[in-house]
Structure 1
Amino acid sequence: MKILIRCYARFRDTFGEEQTLELPEGATILDAVRTLAGTGSDAELLIDNVGNIRSYVMIMHHDIRVSPMETESVSLSDGDMIILFPPVSGG
């Protein structure tokens, strides 16, 4: 199945604005983010040393925010889109 990942701010600089990934049926958001992390030069921006999504990564799927801790239980379907945001800062 094909899914689209759209990245913003610092994530866009590293992984590109949009990536279409080919994933096996039954893949989860965690699988997709791990796959995306493997395409960039700074995988540690998204994934920690044990393969989990970093707690500061903001993830949207079907216009609903998904916690990094929930990503292993959210299955994807063909044509789904995931949006990734880095932490917000500024003042």
Structure 2
Amino acid sequence: MIDGWTDQRLPELVKGAREFVRRHPTVEALVSSHHVLGSGPAGRHLFALFDEDRLRRILSHMLDEDEFLGPHGIRSLSRYHAAHPYTFEVHGET
């Protein structure tokens, strides 16, 4: 979230983020900057590679203990795959 406090206290961070987006046009098309409801007069914005709805869907999986959230942080592979391993066939063998 980039808000007035961040802009005032961390101008180099905000400048760097804006510069990164400017230098990477493919990222610029993905960046979502939306006003956050209930944020008051501070004018807080969500600065993410996805819009709020998609970010919520992603985080619902990332923060689900039956999926990616583990006792020591985020797993690199979903827990779902323990019971449902991915298989593929090569030269007739699975």
* TM-score, scaled relative to structure 1: 0.30
Flag the structure with more relative contact order, 1 or 2, with Cα contacts below 8 A and sequence separation at least 6.
1
* TM-score, scaled relative to structure 2: 0.29
Structure with more of its chain in strand, by fraction = 1
